[in-house]
Amino acid sequence: MTKGAIDVFTRTLAAHVGDRGITVNAIAPGLVDTDMNAHLLRGQHSAADSAAATTALQSLATVEDIADIACFLASPRSQSITGQTIDATLGNRL
């Protein structure tokens, strides 16, 4: 439900500030391989393998993957993209 709310908020805010040349976008990551959840993703019975199996790319996103998307959205190259929620789940099928 939270991601749905962020999606609606992103579209609404983009419409509200677009006339000032401001773009508004959101990134919706899936499970990201970080230090914070390393205890869940590593070990003998790795949850990482199970989670990766649910994605089209058969892997988990990294912090760098999400940062690359954020950098692109903050750059002038994304000037025509607004009101979008970028799915950064590597093609999660669940």
Token reading at 71: 């950098």
Give the model's pLDDT for residue 24: 98
3-53, pLDDT tens digit by residue? 889 999 999 999 999 999 999 999 999 888 888 877 777 765 577 777 788
Which helix (H) or strand (E) segment holds residue 85: the answer is: strand 84-88
Q: Does domain 2-88 have CATH number 3.40.50.720?
A: yes
Give the model's pLDDT for residue 10: 98
Query: What pTM value is reported for the model?
Result: 0.83
β-pairing, 32-33 vs 61-62, is parallel
Q: How far apart are CA 26 and CA 5, in angstroms?
A: 11
Residue with more model confidence, 71 or 52 = 71
Give the model's pLDDT for residue 1: 76
Residue with more model confidence, 56 or 21 = 21
